[in-house]
Amino acid sequence: MTKQKLLIKKIIESANGHLTAEEIYQLAKAQMPHIALGTVYRNLGKLCEANEIGLISVSGKPDHYDKSVIAHGHLICDSCGKIVDFHLEDIKDRVEKLLDVEVISYDFNAHYVCDDCK
Amino acid sequence: MTKQKLLIKKIIESANGHLTAEEIYQLAKAQMPHIALGTVYRNLGKLCEANEIGLISVSGKPDHYDKSVIAHGHLICDSCGKIVDFHLEDIKDRVEKLLDVEVISYDFNAHYVCDDCK
DNA sequence: TATAATTTTGAGAATGATTCCTAAAACAAG
DNA sequence: CTTGTTTTAGGAATCATTCTCAAAATTATA
């Protein structure tokens, strides 16, 4: 495990939110000034593939990365972009039963306008 | 309503699937050779905003446009990219009750590998 | 440990989807 | 028709992300 990959993983684990690659890059640069954006993307891809971190993909926005790897939904404010996690048990089961397929993963993003923005 | 916008809407309505902007552009060009890709994007944006068509946004792939505007989920084959619609009633309600918010819309993409690809 | 084989890096170029810019064309009133 | 508004085509620009590749780091091996 390289220093870079370790640093990136630590940043995600210690963050309380859902960072973008660019945000992770900025935080990483503070501790490792010569790290390259490509290195961040490369390692994020590997960490996702290894299921060590989660990926949140929201329409029209850059991807966000999540320390939580268990399946859950995201409530997204269409005004400020804030992301809140939520857990609706059995949705995966319901999709699997309804369609008779094996669901590998899912993205569930519900859009709203948060109290601060209203 | 311009000819271009009308054509784009017709293409989406008569398609049996979920076309990308590029696919819509190609189909439009067959009937209107000078139409520009920018015009397609511009009108797709307007049609989405007016809620006349639906938008499907899948991680890492170009957006797809849907004639159906009623909320529903999409089952996506991670191997060939095929998209199948599904309807799970009351998910919106459940999210609203669980989090005590008003959900404007949601994206629900379940990933799997279809029979043809397995 | 020294050395060879493998992997990863940094820096920047390349890509792909989408948006933006602008003068000309189309359209909508009056 | 004439004037004012909207939309267009075409191309440049942008943004997130991936790719390229020689050099550096890491790991395996003798």
Q: What is the pLDDT of residues A66-117, one digit of tens each?
A: 999 999 999 999 989 999 999 998 999 999 999 999 999 999 999 999 999 9
Using alpha carbons, select from A65, A74, A73, A61 the residue that is nearest to residue A114. A74
pLDDT digits (tens, 9 = 90+) for B63-115: 999 999 999 999 999 999 999 999 998 999 999 999 999 999 999 999 999 99
C-alpha B93, offset from chain centre? 22
Nearest to B103 among A91, A92, A110 (CB): A110
B29 touches strand D (CB under 7 A): no
Q: Return the nearest residue to C7, CA–C1'.
A: A2
Domains of chain B: residue spans and CATH: 3-66 (1.10.10.10), 73-112 (3.30.1490.190)
- Region B43-65: what's the mean pLDDT? 95
Name the minimum distance, in Å, from the CA of B3 to any CA of chain A.
Answer: 27
Nearest to B111 among A60, A99, A103 (CB): A103
Q: What is the model's pTM?
A: 0.92
| Cross-strand partners of A74 | A85, A109
